[in-house]
Every structure is written in structure tokens, then in C-alpha cells.
Amino acid sequence: MQHRFATDIFSPYLTKIYTLLIPKSTRTRYAAAKKEPLTTCKFSCLLTIMKKEFKKTEKAAESDKLKSGQIIDIAVSALDEEGYGVGDYEGMPVLATGVLPGEEARVKVTFTGRRVSFAETVKILRHTPSRLKTPPCDKAAICDGCPLIQMKYPAQLAWKTELVERKIRRYRSLSKAEIHHTIPSPKPLHYRNSAKLVVAGKFAAPLIGIYRRNSHEVIDIGNCPLHHPLINKVVQAVKEGIKKGKVPIYSARTGNGILRYLVVRISEMENRAMVILVTAQRSYNEIHHLAKHLQSVVPEASIIAQNVNGSAGNAILGEKDYFITKERAFMDSVGPIRFSISPRSFFQVNGGGAQIIYEKVREWGELTGREAVIDLYCGIGGISLYLATGAKDVLGIEAVTAAVTDAENNARINGIRNCRFEAGDAAELLSRIQEKQDKFDLIVLNPPRKGCDERVLASVASLAPARVIYVSCSPQTLARDLDILSGHGYRTLEIQPVDMFPQTPHVENVALLVKD
């Protein structure tokens, strides 16, 4: 009944479409097959033929689709937020590693999706002036660790400033905020003081590196230009020790083997290395012999531990550490503040970049020694302790209890008594502070990449500090949260991008807000 009603309503239109699109010979054959008069099978005939034509079109589109392994040429118009060169091939967006805006490249397709495909650069057909003639690493086309390493450093800084501007200017409330040029890292290379690396292959030819994107293939990074030289020295020594001791390497496919990951942390202040050998199960002989070899080649490796991780997932560290050496922690510093670093302590991977951020927060805080300060998402107390020397008192709030324990220990190490820390949910703790009607002059926000919960932002505004300083590793969530704070009566005056991670697309930002 419904079918007949639709046919009657649209009959004049169907007749026109039917006669225009379908040849009379086809109509006649269809009517004969259905054993119906030619004039009464218009609707079903049209639907059937349209379905057939759609399937033909779909099949043709499938045959035209890019295939993994296919070699194509693309022109790159921009870099996306992850550092991929953005190109186009017959209407399909293609994201390629190792290529810069303004370049044309021959690329090999590595992954195809419905809306976007990924590729690796095979050959640059036309170069941009922003490209380095001799990049410090030859793996940029396949390694995701440093996708901008083939770009001249001033061009990287300019690109990061533009990225921040694009994200911020999407919001009308932020149109008048001043965005400064990105401050360069003190070290564009060899700035990373920690590395978490995958161990793969066979003991006769071990690979130590990172996963290639969209695969479990390990890229052997060897002498990485981002790592502190001591990390590279440790990696080479561990490779030699694996070969010498015939240490079985773990295979995710079979579940056999021992050594899974290598974690290295460096104290620049003490020029020492902490090495964590992550194994699939507890193993004494192989790992102790490997540790002995490592210390004989790299005496700076004064802290060595075995961590057991038997889980099937991608988590690197398991729950239990077994120290092979007597020492379990070392000291490092950001500016005048010293920190105790253990295997699980959070610490900024670029100490020089962290100092720039801490100094900017202190400058914009305009502390006179009379202010009460809250440091939200304080971690091990970096910003809290940095501000404590200029404030009356500082309260650090952090969700991770172990980090709060580290922060309290770091306060004792530095002899700082006007800084206290609380563990718990930020929104709940701020709500309790509101109930007490405590007054704060400055609140610092330093959330993870996902940004702040709206309840946290509302609570911050309810406390009505004269200034809010927001430190962020994501321009996108920073812009979103600044816009939300504008709705609570806070105006963003300035934003300072800082290059904490040279050769990568990541950029830190410090934003200053004042209460209108």
C-alpha cells in the first residue's frame, strides 16, 4: 500500500526520469522478464537499474582506490598537526612522511583508508628552500620520532607559531590575544634526557628503536640525534651485551624470549644514566650478565634495574622493579631547583625547555612575596617549587599519589617550607577550597594533553584569582579552554609558544589570563 502510494504521488516525476534515463529497449526487456505491461513497471524497473548502476560505480571506485605498496607522485600543500606532508591523489588525501610544504614527491603508499591514505617518501622531485641539504638523520621518511628533522630550524619555529595562531584564532573571544614568536629550545638536537625503546629481532642481530607507524615493525634508530649522547652510548652497549650474552629477545607473536624494552634516563646535572631492562619474566643470569657488560662499557650507568612486564598489551613498564645496583635514584635540576628522579618519576624530557616555561610562569605571575598560589596538575612539583621562592605560599594539586610523594620529597631536598601538596581529583579539591572561602591570587593550570574538565575551569573562575596562567602541550585544547574561561570573565592577554620538542610537530604554550 505504501509502495503504491509513493508511486502514485511521484508518478509524473518517475515517468520523466524513467523515459529520460532508461532506453526503450531496456524498458521493453525488463517488462517482458517481469511479465508486466510496460506502463505499470516503471517504479521497480527504475529502482533495479539504479541499484545495478550504483554497484557498477562502486566497483569502479574500488578499482581506482589506492593500494598499499603503490608508488604515486603528490604535491604537498601543508603539514598537518602530526608533521605529515598533506597531498592529494585523484581526490584522496595522502599524508606522507619526509616531505615539506611546497615540495613534490614520489611516495610509496603504506596504508589506505576510506578517507585518507598514508605514504612514505621515496624521492623528492622538487625541493623547498626550507629543506636542509644534509639532515642529521637519514630515517626521516620512515621514522615518526622526528618528522620535522629535514626542515631548517627557523622554519620549524615559524611553522609552530602559525599552528598556534590557527588554533587560537578560531575563537572570537581570543581574537585580541597577543601571540608571540616561538621561543627556540636551548638545544635543537640531543635534548632528550629519556628514551623508551622497543627491543626486537634476534640476539645475533638485535634491533632497538621505535615502532613504524601503523605496524609492529621496529625501526632500529641507533645513534638518534634527539637523544642525549649518553643514551646512544647505552643503546650501543646493550646491543653488544645482547649479542655477547645471547640474551633471548621477546617475541609478541610467539610469547617466547626475555628482553622486551629498554628505558634510559639521564641526569645532565650528574652526567649519569639510569637503565631499566624490561623483561617478560624474572630472569637472573642473562640480565645480570647484561648489566655487568653495560657497566664495564658505560661506567656512567650507575643505576640499573630489571622491570618485569608479562602483560600482552603495549604498556612498557610492569608493576615490579628489581634493582641490580645499590643506587635507586639520582638528582637532576631545572634552574636552581633540584629533583630526585627514580625509574617511575615524571620529569621533563627537555630540561632547558622546561626552565624557559618555568621562568615565563614566574615572570607573568608578578609575585611579590605576598601571594597565595595554586598549581593544578603539579606533577612532581616543578612549577610549584619554582614559584615558592617568590610567593607567600603555594598549594600543589595532583591526581597521582606517587607524584605527590615525589613533590614533597623535592620540597625537602630544596629546603622549601612554604609549599604543600595534596593528592586527589582537581575538581573535588577546588570545591573544598571554595567551601573554606580561601583566597588565591594566582592559579596555574598545567593539565595533560586532553585539557581541563569544564568543572575545573568553572571552579577556578569561582575562586576569582586576579591572574590565571595556563601551560599546555596541545594548542587545540588550550584554545578550547581559554574560550571557556572567557565565558567566566577571564581575558587572555598573551600566549607564548615554547619549542620543548625540536624536530617534532609538538609545541608547548604558556597563556596569561586576567580577570575582567
Give the catalytic positions in this structure.
473
The set of residues, in sequence order, having a beta carbon less than 8 Å from that of 443 and lying 6+ positions away, is 373, 374, 376, 460, 463, 465, 467, 468, 469
Q: For residues 140 and 150, is the Cβ–Cβ distance under 8 A? A: yes
Q: For residues 361 and 444, is the Cβ–Cβ distance under 8 A? A: yes
The set of residues, in sequence order, having a beta carbon less than 8 Å from that of 437 and lying 6+ positions away, is none
Residue 58 dihedral angles phi and psi, to the nearest 5°: -65, -40
Residue type, 301: A
Find the DSSP H helices in 324-421. 351-365, 382-388, 401-413
In 243-362, which ranges are E strands? Answer: 259-267, 272-279, 301-308, 320-323, 330-334, 337-341
d(CA 380, CA 407): 4
Per residue in 484-513, is it b (16+ CB within 10 Å) or e — as a string? bbbebebbbeebbbbbbbbbbbbbbbbbbb
Q: For residues 238 and 288, is the Cβ–Cβ distance under 8 A? A: no
